[in-house]
Structure 1
Amino acid sequence: MHAGEFEAVRGVPDLYVHDTGMFGTDEYGAVYVYDADRPIVIDTGTGANRERLFETLDEIGIDREGLAWILPTHAHLDHAGGAGHLAERYPNAEVRVPEKGVRHLVDPDALVAGTKSAVRDQWQYYDDPVPVPEDRIAGLADGDRIDLGDRELIVHEAPGHAPHHAFYHEPDADVVFTADAAGIYVPEVDTVRPTTPPPQFDLDQCLRDLSAIEEIDPEYVCFGHFGPREYEPSLIGEAKRAYVEWVEAVREKREALADDEAVVEHFEEASRDVEFWNPERARADANLNSRGVLTYLDRVEEESGE
């Protein structure tokens, strides 16, 4: 797929995946549109390319009064940055997000400041978020259900990536919308890569979140980055190994270099070997993910009293 395009998800009736063209990269950021009795948009992208998403909804046949739900998986702006824009355009849609994310979407100033600090020059690919009106948004907790009329989504809190993070399960089609709980799926090479952004990544919790998906044992998984895939048990094992090995690689490099900026630079340089994204995207991912692990290692050390 290419930026702005959408297609039906094979094997799951009424479900579509839209390529947001996030960060100027094809097949990196996904929005899912479920054309159920009460239609829903799952995740929203950064908001920067929202007009193409509006066109996708039009082509699917969901008009401005027809969208029922806007459902970010968490408050990070690559998943929730378009929520306020969508709420403006679709006046009957209710916004739902895990409870700890509500305040960030109602008043996004702190979230914007934190995102700018984390993503640095990549902010050029974002759009300033529009606040979601308080009377249009509510929080979600583990076990909550979103009524789509002819089906429902079940909420599973998954705070390893961030405290305001969840994945969603639709049991009729047996599809899990993994958000970032299962890492980044790269369809070009059929590989899962870890996503470990600062400041709240937690390895142990990430592994528990992966086990929660493994226990559901769905038919399909829909990654926020990027796209749908038939589920195989080996996929979760691959993701667990990727996370553990990545954290250990950063730990070892920190011990060898004794300079965190040098650690980040090392992994940025290593990103040149990545062939499936453009060099800018690969370098940005390496920067963000290595700094996230370094922050996690600091927290583990502090909590252990070392």
Structure 2
Amino acid sequence: MHAGEFESVRGIADLYVHDTGMFGTDEYGAVYVYDTEKPAVIDTGTGVNREALFKTLDEIGIGREELAWILPTHAHLDHAGGAGHLVERYPNAEVRLPEKGVRHLIDPEALVAGTKSAVQDQWQYYDDPAPVPEDRISGLAEGDRIDLGDRELVVHEAPGHAPHHAFYHEPDADVVFTADAAGIYVPAVDTVRPTTPPPQFDLDQCLTDLSAIEEIDPEYLCFGHFGPREYEPSLIGEAKRAYVEWVEAVREKREALGDDEAVVEHFEETSRDVEFWNPERARADASLNSRGILTYLNRIEGESEA
């Protein structure tokens, strides 16, 4: 699948995955579309390629008056940046996301500033988000259910990645929309890679979130990046190891180098070994994730000294 294309998700009725072509990488950005009695879009991409998403909804047969739900899994702009643009096009759609993310989509100024600081020159792949009107958005909490008509989504808060993060479970098909709670599964190398952005990544909570998915033991995982795949319990174990090992790698490198910027530069350089996305994106990903771990380490060290 290539940027702007969509396909049905095998094994799950009425569910489609749309490739946003995020960061110039095929399949990196996955938007899920439920063509149910009350149609829904799960995550939105950055908003840059929204016209292609609009076309996908048209081709699936979801009209402007019919879309019921816009459901970002969290407020990070690679997942929620298109929400305001969707609201403008689909007048009856309501936005739902974890409560702590609501204010960021109503007034995205601080979110944009934080994102620009975190992603730096990768901002070229983002779009300025359109604010979501207050009367079109509300928050979600643990255990809430979103009515799709003939099925529903169950909300599970998963704040390890960010305080405003959740994953959604659809029990009938037994599919979990993981967002970033299970890391990034990369089909090209059949492995899970951590995603640990600043400033609020938390390792212990991240491991708890992974255990929550493990307890559900679903049939399918719909990742926020690189799309869906059948669930295997070993994936969660692999993800847990990947997160723990990544935190330790950054911790050890900081002890060796004694300078946070030198740590970031080290991991940017080693990103040259990554072969499954373009070098620019690999370097940016290494920078973002290493800075997230350094922020986390500073926070927990400060807490231990308090």
TM-score (norm 1): 0.99
Give the superposed CA RMSD: 0.6
Separation (CA, whole Å) in 1 of partners of 2:148 and 2:233: 28
Which digits, 9 at most, give the CA deviation of each residue in 1:204-243, with x for residues without a partner? 0000000000000000000001200000000000000000
Contact (CA 8 Å) 1:221, 1:230: kept in 2 or not?
A: yes
Q: Distance in 2 between matches of 1:191 and 1:12?
A: 23
Whole-Å separation in 1 of the counterparts to 2:121 and 2:57: 30
Q: Given the alignment of the two structures, is residue 303 of structure 1 paired with residue 303 of structure 2, yes or no?
A: yes
Q: Distance in 1 between matches of 2:28 and 2:203?
A: 23
Secondary structure of the equivalent of 1:218? Answer: coil
Specify the alignment match of 2:41 in structure 1.
41
Asked if 1:121 is matched to 2:135, the reply is no
Following superposition, the deviation at residue 5 of structure 1 comes to 0.8
Which residue is equivalent to 2:104?
104
Aligned structure 1 segments of 4 or more residues deviating by more than 3 angstroms: none
Partner of 2:155: 155
- Give 2:19's aligned amino acid: D
Encode CA deviations 1:19-53: one digit per residue, 9 max, x unaligned.
10111111211000011110000000000000000
Q: Which residue of 2 aligns with 1:166?
A: 166
Aligned pair count reads: 306
Q: Distance in 2 between matches of 1:258 and 1:136?
A: 48
Partner of 2:69: 69
Match of 1:256? 256
Question: What is residue 280 of structure 2 aligned with on the other side?
Answer: 280
Alpha-carbon contact 1:38-1:67 (below 8 Å) kept: yes
Output one character per residue of 1:96-119: Cα deviation in whole Å (capped at 9) or x when no partner: 010000000000000000000000
Please give the alpha-carbon distance, in whole angstroms, between the structure 1 residues aligned to 2:284 and 2:28: 13
Q: CA offset at residue 185 of structure 1?
A: 1.1
Query: In structure 1, what is the Cα distance between the partners aligned to 2:166 and 2:36?
Result: 21
| Counterpart residue identity of residue 113, structure 2 | A
Listed one character per residue, the Cα deviations across residues 241-277 of structure 1 (whole Å, up to 9, x for unaligned) are 0000000000000000001111001101111000100
Q: What letter matches 1:25 in structure 2?
A: T
Counterpart code for 1:93: A
Q: Note if 1:213 corresponds to 2:213.
A: yes
Q: Distance in 2 between matches of 1:258 and 1:5?
A: 46
Output one character per residue of 1:178-218: Cα deviation in whole Å (capped at 9) or x when no partner: 00000011111221100000000000000000000000000
Q: Secondary structure at the match of 2:41?
A: strand
Structure 2 unaligned segments of length 5 or more: list them. Answer: none
CA distance in 1, matches of 2:222, 2:190: 13
Corresponding residue of 1:190: 190
- The aligned counterpart of 1:225 is 225
CA distance in 2, matches of 1:108, 1:210: 29
Q: Structure 2: how far apart are the matches of 1:237 and 1:55?
A: 38
SS of equivalent residue, structure 2 residue 254: helix
Contact in 2 for aligned 1:158/1:167 (Cα 8 Å): yes
Looking at structure 1, the residues matched to 29 and 294 of structure 2 have their Cα atoms a distance apart, in angstroms, of 25
| TM-score, normalisation: structure 2 | 0.99
Instruction: Please tell me the residue identity of whatever aligns with 2:36.
Output: A
Partner of 1:89: 89
Question: Structure 1 CA distance, aligned partners of 2:27 and 2:144?
Answer: 30
Aligned partner letter, 1:185: Y
Separation in structure 2 between the aligned mates of residue 257 and residue 5 of structure 1, nearest angstrom: 45
Given that residues 118 and 198 in structure 1 are in contact (C-alpha distance below 8 angstroms), is that contact kept between their aligned partners in structure 2? yes
Separation in 2, partners of 1:305, 1:217: 39
CA contact 1:192–1:238 (8 Å) conserved in 2: yes
Structure 1 SS opposite 2:38: coil
* Alpha-carbon separation, structure 1, partners of 2:11 and 2:267: 38
Q: How far apart, in 2, do the equivalents of 1:190 and 1:106 lie? A: 38
Partner Cα separation in structure 2 for residue 25 and residue 188 of structure 1: 12
SS at match of 1:296: helix
Match of residue 132 from structure 1: 132
Q: Residue 4 of structure 1: SS of its match in structure 2? A: coil
CA distance in structure 2 between the aligned counterparts of 1:86 and 1:189, rounded to whole angstroms: 33
The one-letter code of the counterpart of 2:163 is P
Q: Is the 8 A contact 1:187 1:227 kept in 2?
A: no
